[in-house]
């Protein structure tokens, strides 16, 4: 088998570059082949991943943040195993794998993933775009835009970047009329944010849908009603910890297909990439992706 490492050199303030000597050191006395490919700009990871087919007997490693993983996912051919080495800022998707508590060092994650095992996970689709983790719209997508700028300027932990960006964005909050269609029935919400999740985490560890699983064949949806600043500040710690499930402002749904429509195009983030859309059509693809994970992950 050949190991293909697609590395985003600017992810995590250059943290991904540390992987290069570790990869070289690991394979120096091993028979398996490997190749290191450095991305050169937006979209390049997708282009590089698309070059490999199942006949090539490779595993493709997305080395960077959630954006790098998103690009590789949208380039990879079905059946080609993919791994994510979380060396970016957010790294929210791999949190759903539930790494062993002792597995915190990037070098150890790299080696244990190479020596790991393959599992099948669900992949979401939004308007033809595949995503590992989440699509969200409303306040939190504005926060994502702000967090990208803050994260580049300040070397802060990912959750702190998100919190700082959230407080900077609160003054821009406004109710958004959202039409949600599930099982042929449409409900209308005046919402402040909507998260359609495959994984469990976003924003550096926030848990909008604490019951989500990447292996249950369903999206988990969290809608939060528009509310005043005091209520937002009260809900924020609960939302961070996934303890908001009984709050009257939060609504939860599960589905393998759904449609979301808003009256005017608003920013939405799909695995960290920003789009401005009015209509969102979601389809779940159960067990679509073969993913390589460390041996001792809880995921089966």
Query: What's residue 233's pLDDT?
Result: 87
Count of Cβ atoms closer than 10 Å to residue 10 Cβ: 17
Average pLDDT of the residues in 168-187: 88
- Residue 273 CB contacts under 8 Å (≥ 6 apart), including other chains: 67, 70
- The model's confidence at residue 167, banded by pLDDT at 50, 70 and 90, is confident
Query: What's residue 140's pLDDT?
Result: 75
pLDDT tens digits along 116-134? 999 999 999 999 999 999 9
Query: What's residue 84's pLDDT?
Result: 95
Q: By C-alpha distance, which of 102, 97, 84, 100 is closest to 11?
A: 84
Kindly tell me if the per-residue pLDDT of 154 is higher than 70.
no
Kindly tell me if the per-residue pLDDT of 141 is higher than 80.
no
> For a pLDDT cut of 70, what percent of the chain falls above it?
95
Query: What's residue 101's pLDDT?
Result: 76
**What is the distance between the alpha carbons of residues 220 and 278, in angstroms, rounded to a whole number?**
20
Q: What residue has token string 């088998």?
A: 1
**What is the distance between the alpha carbons of residues 146 and 153, in angstroms, rounded to a whole number?**
11
Ordered alpha helix ranges (H), the chain: 19-27, 44-49, 66-75, 106-114, 139-153, 158-169, 229-241
Mean pLDDT score of the chain: 90
Distances (CA, A) of 181 to 165, 220, 287: 31, 14, 24
Return the DSSP state at 216: S
Query: What's residue 116's pLDDT?
Result: 94
Average pLDDT of the residues in 235-248: 93
pTM of the model: 0.89
Q: For residue 2, what are its two tokens?
A: 């050949």
């Amino acid at each position: 088998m050949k190991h293909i490492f697609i590395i985003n050199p600017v992810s995590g303030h250059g943290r991904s570059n540390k992987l290069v000597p570790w990869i070289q050191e690991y394979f120096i006395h091993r028979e398996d082949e490997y190749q290191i490919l450095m991305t050169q700009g937006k979209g390049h990871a997708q282009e590089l991943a698309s070059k490999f087919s199942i006949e090539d007997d490779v595993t493709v490693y997305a080395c960077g943040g959630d954006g790098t993983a998103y690009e590789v996912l949208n380039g990879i051919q079905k059946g080609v195993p993919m791994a994510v080495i979380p060396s970016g800022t957010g790294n929210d998707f791999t949190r759903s794998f539930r790494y062993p508590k002792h597995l915190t060092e990037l070098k150890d994650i790299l080696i244990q993933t190479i020596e790991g095992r393959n599992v099948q996970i669900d992949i979401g689709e939004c308007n033809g775009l595949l995503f590992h983790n989440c699509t969200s719209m409303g306040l939190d997508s504005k926060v994502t835009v702000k967090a990208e700028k803050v994260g580049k300027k300040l070397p802060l932990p990912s959750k702190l970047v998100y919190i700082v960006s959230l407080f900077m964005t609160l003054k821009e909050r406004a109710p958004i009329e959202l039409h949600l269609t599930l099982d042929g029935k449409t409900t209308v919400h005046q919402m402040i944010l909507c998260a359609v999740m495959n994984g469990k985490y976003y924003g550096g560890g926030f848990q909008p849908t604490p019951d989500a699983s990447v292996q249950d064949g369903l999206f988990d949806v969290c809608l939060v009603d528009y509310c005043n600043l005091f209520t937002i500040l009260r809900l924020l710690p609960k939302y961070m910890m996934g303890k908001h499930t009984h709050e009257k402002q939060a609504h939860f749904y599960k589905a393998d297909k759904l449609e979301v429509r808003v009256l005017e195009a608003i920013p939405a983030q799909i695995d960290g990439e920003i789009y401005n859309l009015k209509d969102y059509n979601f389809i779940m693809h159960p067990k679509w992706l073969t993913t390589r994970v460390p041996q001792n992950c809880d995921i089966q």
